[in-house]
């Protein structure tokens, strides 16, 4: 049996420590402390969304291709096997990758550092919206400046696509990490007509 202290997501993360990982495989659930999960089956794909502390994991499977997006603190628990890319979140970043003719991945991230006033207003608006849709997990045990850090994942299914918007709020730093991912599935995904 695995020591639960080795699970990713059990301790408070800082926005400056988070990295983006993209895998051509699934990652084992026993590596993470999963606070909330959502399974989606739609059209030609299925997906799992996990909230793992102030981080998240999304795995999409379609037509024999499996893709996993992870935001997390780097750890020896994470494998390099089938790792497509990894980078630290800083400012704004865009990334695209074609896994096969039937899977294309588009990613954008932004670390927003705000004044306290703007952060509190943005925080309030996000929490209000998060309580009505998606997957929302606040962490009262890590509250600071009178606010609870949270992870909010909003998702939308479209024909052959999964759109995922993730928000990770860090009140102790007045920062919000926003990510947007599009998983395009289906034959000839993203190819321009010839």
List all residues 6 or more positions away from 166 whose beta carbon is below 8 Å from its beta carbon: 56, 71, 151, 152, 153, 154, 177, 178, 179, 180, 181
**What's the pLDDT score for residue 15?**
87
Asked if residue 191 is part of any domain, the answer here is: no
**What's the pLDDT score for residue 186?**
80
Asked if residue 192 is part of any domain, the answer here is: no
Q: How many domains does the chain have?
A: 1
**What's the pLDDT score for residue 189?**
58
Asked if residue 63 is part of any domain, the answer here is: yes
**What's the pLDDT score for residue 7?**
57
pLDDT along the chain (194 residues), means of 10: 46 84 96 95 95 95 95 91 95 94 94 97 97 94 93 95 97 96 80 45
In which domain, by residue range, is 65 found?
4-185
Cα 162 to chain center, whole Å?
Answer: 13
Asked if residue 190 is part of any domain, the answer here is: no
**What's the pLDDT score for residue 13?**
77
Asked if residue 171 is part of any domain, the answer here is: yes
List all residues 6 or more positions away from 66 whose beta carbon is below 8 Å from its beta carbon: 24, 25, 26, 59, 60
Q: Do 80 and 27 touch, CB atoms closer than 8 A?
A: no
State whether residue 130 is helix, strand or coil.
helix
Asked if residue 194 is part of any domain, the answer here is: no
**What's the pLDDT score for residue 57?**
98
Asked if residue 129 is part of any domain, the answer here is: yes
């Amino acid at each position: 049996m695995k020591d639960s202290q080795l699970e990713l997501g059990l301790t408070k993360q800082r926005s400056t420590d988070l990295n983006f990982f993209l895998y051509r495989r699934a990652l084992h659930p026993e590596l993470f402390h999963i606070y909330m999960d959502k399974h989606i089956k739609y059209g030609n794909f299925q997906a799992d969304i996990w909230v793992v502390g102030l981080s998240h994991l999304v795995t999409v499977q379609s037509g024999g291709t499996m893709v996993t997006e992870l935001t997390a603190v780097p750890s020896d628990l994470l494998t390099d096997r089938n790792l497509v890319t990894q980078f630290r979140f800083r400012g704004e970043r865009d990334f695209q990758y074609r896994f096969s003719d039937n899977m294309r991945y588009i990613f954008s991230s932004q670390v927003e550092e705000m004044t306290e006033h703007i952060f509190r207003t943005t925080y309030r608006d996000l929490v209000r919206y998060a309580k009505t849709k998606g997957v929302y997990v606040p962490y009262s045990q890590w509250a600071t400046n009178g606010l609870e850090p949270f992870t909010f994942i909003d998702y939308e299914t479209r024909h052959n696509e999964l759109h995922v918007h993730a928000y990770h709020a860090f009140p102790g730093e007045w920062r919000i990490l926003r990510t947007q991912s599009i998983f395009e599935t289906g034959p000839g995904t993203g190819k321009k007509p010839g």
